[in-house]
A and B are shown apart, each in its own frame.
Chain A
């Protein structure tokens, strides 16, 4: 309808004035005003009802614990710590990328660009981008940022082609069912023989709920005025068994050295003789080696070499499973009934197999029930209390290194591990050595990754960085549009004056237009950021895990955000989860209102000065 049309209706009015009484028209006007009031109040009522419901439902759930606890399957203990920190990280990344690009685009469009087709195309494009549903941006983020189109040669999210700042460990089963870790140079490093002096660490199953200080078998090596010092396993590495390969190369036909098993399946060799040496297997040494007759389990280690593990005489059943499991079940299965009382210490042989080398030691074992899962403690032979009566040099003693918890990434999941604390190293265990993991089931032949705070990977995966970039796409048009409006509001006379004085365009922007428009830009940016804080759909599409109980540790780390956490709770049946959702909403709304208030404050403070 054009302005002419409006004039036509003006003419009409004069006619209708005759046909309808002024009184009636006045009545209609009054009635419309009243209904306007009523209808307008619908929005107010909706907001009031919404806020009241949320407040009533969520008020009880609000507490300090709610802010400092992680999410939990138990509604009583659930909190939003992970979600809060996740939101902070993601919105931080989002803001750091979106604001410069957005303001830059606005400056280009308003101050630099000529009036040509390209400029108007960019403008149209931006206003169209603002209308794209945020879930579509989520798909773009997933395909580009998290996966980089799945292009060949650049790796995948879980096995990125490029990583910076991660340390890799190989995990092994040890002969007594524990897990040993060995640091590696890189993800692709071959699982090779252990280098002398590299700590190979023995880890047992630990209860998932509590990672407790582990008792480690330690050898007392010195006893002095200030107490005694211990070493781990140092003196207990006497025996090496040669590999089958080497034996075959020598052309020797020795009992106990059998040909390589093709499939890698362990086989049991009954009553075979193995040659035990204390050095690497050279011809001379092998001839002098002691032979031991017994029952052996042959298996392949990670380097593809055949190992022989002595099976204790009283074990005859060997269960099937993957090769690590067969090794494990050399030892008896522990049942709860057996464990009610502390069992009689049992002497078994423990071997750590690695790269064709067997390390044999003798440990006393004691089984205890801790939590739901039986946990094995390796105890020392000398049972005397360490402080009161230190055992003689050469005896065994439990030591309790100070531990801290760390999170380790496997290919598919995160496990919590106990790590020797920096300030409490003990001999043989450097700070940072991994002692225990709560992976639940041990990790057969897996590579573990420990990520430092500056860990970076490409493709980015479904981490904080990809999430932030995705949200950046969502708010970028908002930032641009707000900034363009802000720059437009600067009077043209200021610009012209600056240019007339010989300033370049950038100098004009830097010294004149940008300072004048910064309050409006800031207001727009803050409002855009509050949009980012409340946005859930794109992050949901990115496929972040719904249940996360840790804060992000680096830019590539898993995360959840507050709206996702709320969604997670709200979609569950059950009153208690609805209350949690409401409590989460209160926190979210408080954050958003703070942002809005800040925007309003800035607008009023800075803008009024400019106008005055």
Chain B
């Protein structure tokens, strides 16, 4: 009897949390909303609207891509170079597993002609479930059972930010508009939540404990994994090219790198589908960053223009694939 009462109380509490969570979806951080929006887009949406009339390019990566690649700017830059492009920013906060999303898009016929990659796939394949390891990700399971589990944190952050944004109601409406803006900006999202500096500009003298000005962060790609082999096959079958494009850091955050990563180039040599363009990353002054890791709007425009010019040059050199299929 008592156990039944306890369980009933538990179910009631679950329902209360769930109703609140569903009733006020915009108290969640913008990054979570954007993630949900983009994952839905991958599953059932249409990131490209022009069919195949223009070259379709999609940027994959983490929050740096999310806050750095501006499709409008990229397309304008390419247009100035005489190349008609339609682009989309599929950067997701904390994402390192974009391969499955690319595969979903390929299966749905929504894949780009060129995928712009910030970094490579994981070095090792995901372990397959077996008798001794049958649940891989507890966080996913927990979030499935208790979708509202981040609600206390979200409410705390929301309340903290709301004070500076004209009160709870005004901030809620502002948050509500985020998704419309992301949709308009085709996946680009300015991460304002982590910006604590006037004008969303990091001070010129800012230094972080994680900075390693003498150390370069060099990219590499594991080509001996099943993930790589499977992806290569699928990309080749659908005439899709993957290009490693530069990421970005603050000046002083990492050491400068050469114009090309020769080790990565050697790894990818002979691959019909994977290639690299430009250096591993660009370095920008602090003023172009809104927080320690992400570009502000001005910085994003500069970075995207540089990417556009880089990709225009790359396209002029690689206008056709090895089988003669034009982009």
A complexed with B? no
Chain B residues within CB distance 8 Å of chain A? none
Chain A residues within CB distance 8 Å of chain B? none
